[in-house]
Chains A and B, each alone.
Chain A
Amino acid sequence: MKVLVPVKRVIDYNVKVRVKADGSGVDLANVKMSMNPFDEIAVEEAIRLKEKGVATEVVAVSIGVKQAQETLRTALAMGADRAILIEAAEDVTQDIEPLAVAKLLKAVVEEEQPGLVIAGKQAIDNDMNATGQMLAALLGWPQATFASELKIEGDHAVVTREVDGGLQTVKVKLPAIVTADLRLNEPRYASLPNIMKAKKKPLEVKTPADYGVDVSPRLTVVSTSEPPARKAGVKVADVAELVSKLKNEAGVL
């Protein structure tokens, strides 16, 4: 079974994101970029399937700027077999919307015929949480989102999902779309020798035109703003004052 893993190049999760002065978006100039952490978990899961002998090939796909090649190289260094880059954006400020990504992925799926697509549940840059679901709808495939456990049983995937207040286990028929949540696994580090070997693995470069998909935006960003700054707290003199404030001002007692 072939497993397809879409990966996105996003602002590194350690970077403190700053909003541009004009509110048109976040400042991406000279900011460290890395693979979306949920996508790393997806890559790890695919590689584990291959190591268990369940998957035969792991193909990583990225859609974005030319530099997303580095993200794909990371996936290859972790253990993916080959990679496809769809160069769909000229510069990093141009975000490719989930629907366009899903349409491109649909075209890739039709070409590659994977038995399973494992995606991150969302990208940490704009937190859309939509691509996996849209791809499932476009393909007419079953989906199992927010996976914290994945088992392949015959021609079905048994997926434990993290839902509010508990876990839900679903069984979906393959081929299917699974989106990875935080606790699915702990991704491995790409080792230095594997980073070296990754440069010799195949990486195919395509454009949206190759798949006949229009990636022009349908959404308009109206404004972007920083979260409100936290106000300073107050000091209370004693327990009595604390209880009184909690009761009368905060209204929590």
Chain B
Amino acid sequence: MVDEETFAQLIDAVDRFVEERLIPAEPRVEAEDEIPPEIVSQMREMGLYGLTIPEEYGGLGLSMSQEVRLVERLCRASLAFRSLIGTNLGIGSQGILMDGTEEQKAHWLPRLASGEVTASFALTEPDYGSDAAHIRTSARRDGNDFVINGVKRYITNAPRAGVFTLMARTNPDDPGAGGVTAFLVPADAPGLELGPPDRKMGQRGAKTCDVRLTDVRVPQDAIIGGPRNEGKGFRTAMKVLDRGRIHISAVAVGTAQRMLDEALRYAMERVQFGKPIVEHQLVQALLADSQAELLAARAMVRETAALYDREGRAQLEASACKLFCTEMAGRVADRAVQVHGGAGYMAEYPVERLYRDVRLLRIYEGTSQIQQMLVARQMARRAAR
């Protein structure tokens, strides 16, 4: 938690970086499907990798409430930039932070905070995505080691990763959540191979690929939290994802704001029937509905983040928040293209790209349908108490 005066300066610094460096680099990222190396090193120098890691490990130690405000500003720029640092802020690092041993924290967190190492989160498999409790990647005990075999799919930042927070089944007799353990697997471990980069609909410059593990040997100390945490990996993964949902909600709000800004700017310039289209009522409806939903989503993210800061958890609210905010971003994207008319379908205008980029928000880190299921389950559970 940073004091408000300093936090305001952090926001100013990020705003300026977004406007002067990140947004101007977007066409290049899109064309090359790669974030220019000088932007990567500038993001490192800015300290963006360490936003969520505590100060004692070299990060900024933002509270969840501050993280969502800052991420919202950052995500006015292409989501590819957020993706670059996203796993270090959230799913790649939080497992270590929440459940890691002191040695694991001291070893990894300063490297993650500085951006020297990128951490990646490997849960999804070819046959198990939403049904994550049943993953099949196996970690067979061999003395004090584990030998891991399996395939992980669509792993964000895998091509850049130095370490994976990887879920594998240590107990073959328990096919469910209780048989899963969270490991820290270095990317250079013998037997760990990366597939070719995935070809995606959008978010060019963000990198995902398969991770194949063939007899990858790790010591039992590589279990997050040490050997006593064997079989507790699914719980770690779910805690990490709960928190991540609030982060993704802020991402959705930030990118929705960008799209609405683009739509409004276009509507004020584009003249049809003798006046700017912003003066036509049906266009006004597209803008106003987007604005109203955006304000609602922003309020919801901040409220949920504040709840998380107070209570250390917000399962129902985080799921509800991710559901609403990402669906909102989808609707705003659709309307922003509609406001642009034919121009919105053309690659010359940023909305064409933003529209493709945001489609992922409703899918990753738990689809909207999984969030609906989680919300309803929590509702019933709370009511039954």
A interface secondary structure, majority: helix
Which of B10-18, B179-187, B216-224, B289-297 lies at the interface with chain A? B10-18
A195 touches B16 (CB 8 A): no
**In the bound complex, what is the Cα–Cα distance between A89 and B216 (angstroms)?**
67
Cα separation A132 to B13 with both chains bound (whole Å): 28
Asked if B9 contacts A189 (CB within 8 A), the reply is: no
**A204 contacts the other chain (CB 8 A):** no
The one of A34, A191, A196 that contacts B6, using a Cβ cutoff of 8 Å: A196
Interface window among A69-77, A172-180, A213-221, A225-233: A69-77
CB distance from B133 to the nearest CB of A (A): 37
**What are the residues of chain B within 8 A of A194 when measuring CB–CB?**
47
Q: What is the predominant secondary structure among interface residues of chain B facing chain A?
A: helix
B214 at the binding interface (Cβ < 8 Å): no
Contact A73 B50 (CB under 8 A): no
Say yes or no: A77 contacts B9, CB within 8 Å. yes
Does B264 have its Cβ within 8 Å of any Cβ on chain A? Answer: no
**Chain B residue nearest in CB terms to A77:** B9
Query: B360: CB under 8 A from chain A?
Result: no
| A186-230 vs B, Cβ < 8 Å mask (1 yes, 0 no) | 000111111110010000000000000000000000000000000
Interchain nearest-CB distance for A120 vs B (Å):
18
Residues of B within 8 A of A193 (CB): 47, 50, 58, 60
A237 to B44, CA, bound (A): 55
Within 8 A of A (CB), among B44-58: 45-48, 50-51, 55, 58
**Could you say which residues of chain A place their CB within 8 Å of the CB of B46?**
189, 191-192
Per-residue CB contact flags for chain B residues 47-73 toward chain A (1 = under 8 Å, else 0) read 110110001001010000000000000
Interface pair B6/A195, CB less than 8 Å apart: yes
**Residue numbers in A under 8 Å from B2 (CB-CB):** 196
| A-side interface size class | 10 to 19
Measured in the bound complex, the distance between the Cα atoms of B9 and A73 in whole Å is: 9
Interface contact B42-A192, CB-CB below 8 Å: no
The smallest beta-carbon distance between A68 and chain B, in angstroms, is 14
Residue contact A189 to B42, C-beta cutoff 8 Å: yes
Bitwise, A43-73 to B at CB < 8 A (1) or not (0) is: 0000000000000000000000000001001
Quick check: A191 and B9 within 8 Å, CB to CB? no
The answer to whether B16 touches A192 (Cβ under 8 A) is no
Residue of A nearest to B59 (CB): A193
Which residues of the partner chain B approach A14 to less than 8 Å between Cβ atoms? 19
> How distant is the Cα of A195 from the Cα of B3 in the complex, in angstroms?
12
Task: Determine if A195 and B42 form an interchain contact, defined as CB atoms under 8 angstroms apart.
Answer: no
Q: Using a CB–CB distance below 8 Å, which chain A residues touch chain B? A: 14, 34, 70, 73-74, 77, 189-196, 199
